[in-house]
Amino acid sequence: MSIENTTLGQHVEPPNSPDEAKLDRVPNPHQDINYLVRFVAPEFTSICPVTGQPDFAHLVIDYVPDEWLVESKSLKMYLTSFRNHGAFHEDCTVAIGKLLHNTLHTRWLRIGGYWYPRGGIPIDVFWQTGTPLEGVWLPDQNVPSYRGRG
């Protein structure tokens, strides 16, 4: 296995859109076991495709790796690329989950998108690749129902 690296240890400008972003992956040194990796992005931002106003979410990404791990700086750059991207909450959340799963070929993945209210209604979006794997500790995502989430 080789390291696919376009960001680590390099100065990288944030991509202008998710289509321009590149997720890097690195070899999983523990392919012989199932374990959970969690990324939390409490300040995720995208743009409403109708109004052009910013939308904010708290993302929680859990996955069980197979051969690959996502390189965290490239994930940060990918998530940052949504700041000027117009898409609905559901599209952002599911697209992120699907790209991670398809790039890493995860054994299992789930993403929770906990969106802050616009128009007085918070929207929470959840997607996963299938049934959680037996024997993998799956902690709660610990994001409260909206009541001044933070």
Which residue in the list 48, 66, 91, 124 is annotated as catalytic? 48
- Whether 55 sits among the annotated catalytic residues: the reply is yes
Residue 124 annotated as catalytic: no
Cα angle at 116 between 121 and 109, to 5 degrees? 110
Strand, coil or helix: 25: strand
Residue 41's nearest CA partner among 10, 74, 75 is 75
CA angle in degrees (0–180, nearest 5) for 136-70-123: 75
Find where tokens 């990404």 sit.
Answer: 61
H/E run at residue 110: strand 108-115
Phi, psi of 76 (to 5 degrees): -60, -45
Q: Which of 19, 24, 32, 55 is catalytic?
A: 55
Which residues are annotated as catalytic?
Answer: 48, 55
